[in-house]
Structure 1
Amino acid sequence: MPMTDDQAVDHLQKLLGTVRDGETGFQEAAEHAEAASLKTLFQGRSAQRAKLATELETKISELGGQPRERGSVGAALHRTWLNVRDAVTGRDDYAVVAEAERGEDVAVGNYQETLDEGDLPADLRSFVQSQYDQIKSSHDEIRDLKHRMEADKK
């Protein structure tokens, strides 16, 4: 049975909450990172998530939905980004990067869940895949950065 527009909007609303949490989390991390390169990286990721949110809002509206106001739809992701906030208030840059990677893990998982939905219309699947590719690339870069930082500590 094909997915209804309402069901598609529900999936997109979850992704919208995901990228909004990421936007806020990365901004928080940027404000508290010590290294200028990390500040720049996190500011860029925050801007990326704002762009993805705008794209999702447009798609939700095209499907007849009303984008939800700011706020997390995923408690796990929200908690993860709260950990980023806690990390930036009392830990070093490595801890901030490690928490950012955890947030990215959840974001990747949320996108994968949507892509695993068998009834997702082809045009919507392509749209979500495009955003997923950006999220996954960001995740991988932050993961690799964390591993380099771990190696430098040894």
Structure 2
Amino acid sequence: MTNDRLISALNDLIQISKDGEKGFRTCADDAAERHANYQELFMARATEYAQTVLDLQDLVHRLGGEPANHSTFGGTLHRQWMLLKSAIMGLDDAAVLGECERCEDTAVHVYRQALGQDLPDDVRLIVERQYQGVLLNHDKVHSLRNRVRTRNAA
């Protein structure tokens, strides 16, 4: 893999991680009004993503590249749409968790794409560790969403 392609792949991960950080912060703000336990979970996930961004930006710097410092355009649009939808219609817990899960699905996809490339061993170790964290985030949110849906159905 060329250095430019490697930097591009890492910048994709930075952007999707910034989406995760901002998305979980938005969810934490929304949950603050209703569920402190969700707020703590979402803030912890946002903090994990913030650290992921710093680690990836450091890698890009070490490779001589310019690290991305913004989220994806699609992620920004999605967050704005969710804020508008929440303000107009309100969102229940299952909907908020469903949106978090959908965002995590995207992160899983982007990480899998990166891991499908010919990464240097040291970079692969970091990306694989971060990918495992994304999977844990996804599974936790998925489990919470299912629990809320079951509770709402009862």
Matched with 1:93 is 93
CA distance in 2, matches of 1:79, 1:131: 25
Q: Does the Cα contact within 8 Å between 2:17 and 2:52 map onto a contact in 1? A: yes
Structure 2: tracts of 5 or more residues without a match:
none
Structure 1 residues 5-154: aligned runs within 5 Å: 5-33=3-31, 34-72=34-72, 75=74, 77-86=75-84, 88-89=86-87, 90-117=90-117, 119-154=118-153
CA distance in 2, matches of 1:69, 1:87: 27
Structure 1 length-normalised TM: 0.89
With over 3 angstroms needed to count, the CA separation of the structure-2 counterparts of 1:19 and 1:110, relative to structure 1, is same
What SS does the corresponding residue of 1:32 show, helix, strand or coil? Answer: helix
The offset of 1:86, in angstroms, is: 4.3
Paired residues, number: 149
Counterpart of 1:131, as a letter, is: Q
Counterpart of 1:7, as a letter, is: R
CA distance in 2, matches of 1:12, 1:82: 25
The offset of 1:120, in angstroms, is: 1.6
1:57-84 CA-partner distances (Å, limit 9, x unpaired): 1001011111123231x63x44444454
Counterpart of 1:145, as a letter, is: L
Structure 1: tracts of 5 or more residues without a match:
none
Question: Matched residues, percent identical?
Answer: 32
Counterpart of 2:147, as a letter, is: R
Give the alignment's Cα RMSD to 1 decimal: 1.6
